[in-house]
């Protein structure tokens, strides 16, 4: 693609008009991946300026550089390399990425999900419901990216703009007609999705998170609201009106609105009535434009009923017919690491239930615990919680999470999450500031996360519920390296839980000939 065609209509300037005929064969923000014919985007980073890597990109073959106007004067490029300047590198990148890859978002029904909690579950449910209902759908989210050709592990909730448009283009190429995207507040603030054409936007809920980045709750809400201002008048906003801040988020949204509620008294377009809850799932009636469907939703917790309701609404609007919704909603699988039950053997129950969840905010932790309290099998059952807080992230939520844990869990083990470069002891001290003076729960400290998980499993008794919170699907732990940075080491809560269960209870075995399952080991 010629540079002239790539930047047409984008708020950028090519410093030397003769360079407009430069042929661009690739876009990159990483100088190490620059190729002959690349346009290198010298985006300002949090620690280093992108201009620091221009020479490296050019040595590798970059023929054009996009740079902030403020940095252009200090940049000297070879005569055969085009300099393109702008006042908004992030916005220009997003718009050029969509153009370079053929505007794939215009060829798909693009569904964006934003909010503090529930994004991953809703995006995964939309993906499952759409594909099971004959609407081929890709996925971009916290856990994975399914571009219709392959499924790859994701590095962040919402990737950079170039990666998003490339993935969407692969979806189009593979025959997808829809795409389900998690859209984070960081991505909205950094214009990563500014070039996309969204057809449906889903608002889940708002609670305090990422205030280390956004500074104030109002700024956080303003970032979330951007998704809804991106909808055209023929778009659709699917809104959880049970959240008191929904009107602040929707704001000036010009699109059609579809409201969702679990409150029978609310005047909502979509409604779910909960009939029964258990550790096997929730029996509920989902009613909306698709009609009325009664199912046993194989997800745990009242909050997942709202997640499923919004996912059903989005799938139906994407073209999934009612009979397929009725058939598939009872067969969906939870997103990895979201109140995911971990067993030694999927065929045989353990004497107590152990779950792994991604809850890393006070609201998410409260939701998870409140979902589990009514599911205690007996009055003597105890909820045993293992959790920590991430380093280099919003410090204000640390004492709030501790208050929630002390109030709702019976036994709490405070441990490390991903401390990153922070001292783990400092993070734990911040958490303990939220511990009430009078506390009915038992709180212990075990910084080693593996030992903390083993301690909880070893202490569990029959009919207890053990919740390991904070990391969910993650298969790594970010620990201080002693030099002011951090290192990543393999660590998966689910693997550690399974090892602890085997150490505590032994393997599950079958009695030969009888077909009856028996469990070796103590049951407490």
Strand ranges of the sheet holding 353-357, from the earlier edge strand across to the other edge: 340-341, 353-357, 465-469, 383-387, 411-414, 442-445
Report CA-CA distances (Å) from 192 to 91, 95, 223, 416. Answer: 7, 9, 12, 31
- Helix ranges (DSSP H) in 318-448: 322-328, 362-372, 397-408, 424-432
pLDDT at 438: 72
CATH number of 3-99: 3.40.1390.10
Q: Which two tokens stand for residue 6?
A: 């790539």
- CA distance readout (Å), 420 to 253, 357, 449, 500: 38, 20, 14, 25
Give pLDDT, residue 22: 95
Report the 10 Å Cβ neighbour count for 83. Answer: 19
The CA–CA distances, whole Å, from 280 to 129, 150, 353, 473 equal: 20, 31, 11, 20
Please enumerate in sequence order all residues whose Cβ is within 8 A of that of 16, keeping only pairs 6 or more positions apart, or say none: 82, 83
Q: What is the pLDDT of residue 252?
A: 84
Write down the pLDDT at residue 209: 55
Q: Does domain 340-508 have CATH number 3.90.190.20?
A: yes
Q: Where are the alpha helices (DSSP H) in 263-349?
A: 302-317, 322-328
Backbone angles phi, psi at 7, to 5 degrees: -100, 0
Strand partners, 286: 272, 293
Which residues of the chain are modeled with pLDDT < 70?
A: 45-49, 208-215, 439-440, 509-524
Residue 340: its pLDDT value, please? Answer: 96
Coil/strand/helix, residue 459: helix
Whether the CB-CB separation of 487 and 478 falls below 8 Å is answered with yes
**What's the sign of the alpha-carbon dihedral 391, 396, 399, 402?**
negative
pTM of the complete model: 0.91
Place domain 103-331 in its CATH homologous superfamily: Mur-like, catalytic domain (3.40.1190.10)
Helices vs. strands in the chain: H and E counts, helices first = 17, 26
Domain ranges of the chain: 3-99, 103-331, 340-508
Q: How far is the C-alpha of 474 from the C-alpha of 442, rounded, in Å? A: 27
């Amino acid at each position: 693609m010629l540079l002239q065609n790539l930047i047409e209509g984008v708020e950028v300037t090519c410093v030397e008009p003769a360079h407009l005929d430069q042929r661009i064969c690739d876009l990159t923000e990483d100088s190490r991946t620059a190729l002959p014919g690349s346009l290198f985007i010298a985006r300002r980073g949090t620690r280093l300026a992108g201009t620091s890597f221009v020479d490296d990109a050019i040595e590798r073959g970059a023929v054009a550089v996009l740079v902030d106007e403020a940095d252009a004067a200090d940049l000297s490029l070879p005569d055969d390399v085009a300099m393109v300047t702008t006042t908004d590198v992030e916005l220009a990148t997003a718009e050029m990425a969509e153009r370079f890859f053929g505007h794939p978002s215009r060829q798909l029904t693009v569904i964006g999900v934003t909010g503090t909690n529930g994004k991953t579950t809703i995006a995964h449910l939309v993906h499952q419901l759409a594909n099971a209902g004959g609407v081929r759908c890709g996925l971009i989210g916290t856990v994975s990216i399914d571009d219709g050709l392959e499924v790859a592990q994701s590095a962040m909730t919402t990737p950079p703009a170039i990666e998003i448009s490339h993935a969407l283009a692969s979806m189009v190429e593979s025959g997808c007609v829809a795409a389900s995207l998690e859209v984070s507040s960081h991505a909205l603030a950094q214009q990563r999705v500014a070039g996309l054409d969204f057809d449906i936007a889903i608002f889940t809920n708002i609670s305090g998170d990422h205030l280390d980045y956004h500074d104030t709750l109002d700024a956080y809400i303003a970032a979330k609201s951007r998704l809804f201002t991106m909808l055209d008048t023929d778009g659709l906003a699917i809104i959880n009106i049970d959240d008191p801040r929904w009107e602040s988020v929707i704001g000036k949204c010009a699109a059609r609105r579809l409201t969702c509620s679990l409150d029978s008294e609310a005047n909502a377009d979509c409604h779910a009535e909960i009939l029964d809850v258990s550790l096997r799932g929730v029996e509920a009636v989902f009613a909306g434009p698709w009609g009325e469907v009664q199912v046993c939703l194989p997800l745990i917790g009242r909050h997942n009923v709202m997640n499923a309701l919004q996912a059903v609404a989005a799938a139906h609007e994407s073209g999934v017919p009612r009979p397929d919704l009725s058939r598939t909603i009872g067969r969906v699988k939870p997103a990895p690491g979201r109140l995911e039950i971990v067993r030694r053997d999927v065929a045989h129950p353990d004497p107590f239930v152990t779950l792994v969840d991604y809850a890393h905010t006070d609201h998410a932790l409260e939701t998870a615990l409140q979902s589990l309290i009514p599911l205690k099998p007996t009055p003597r059952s105890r909820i045993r919680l293992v959790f920590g807080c991430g380093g280099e992230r919003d410090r204000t939520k640390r004492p709030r999470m501790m208050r929630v844990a002390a109030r709702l869990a019976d036994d709490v083990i405070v441990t490390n999450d991903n401390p990153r470069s922070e001292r783990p002891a400092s993070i734990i001290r911040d958490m303990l500031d939220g511990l009430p003076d009078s506390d009915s729960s038992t709180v212990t400290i075990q910084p080693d996360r593996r030992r903390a998980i083993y301690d909880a499993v070893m202490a569990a008794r029959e009919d207890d519920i053990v919740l390991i919170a904070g990391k969910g699907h993650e298969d790594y732990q970010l620990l201080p390296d002693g030099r002011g940075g951090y290192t990543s080491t393999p660590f998966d809560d689910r693997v550690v839980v399974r090892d602890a269960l085997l150490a505590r209870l032994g393997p599950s075995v079958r009695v030969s000939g009888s077909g009856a399952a028996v469990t070796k080991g103590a049951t407490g």
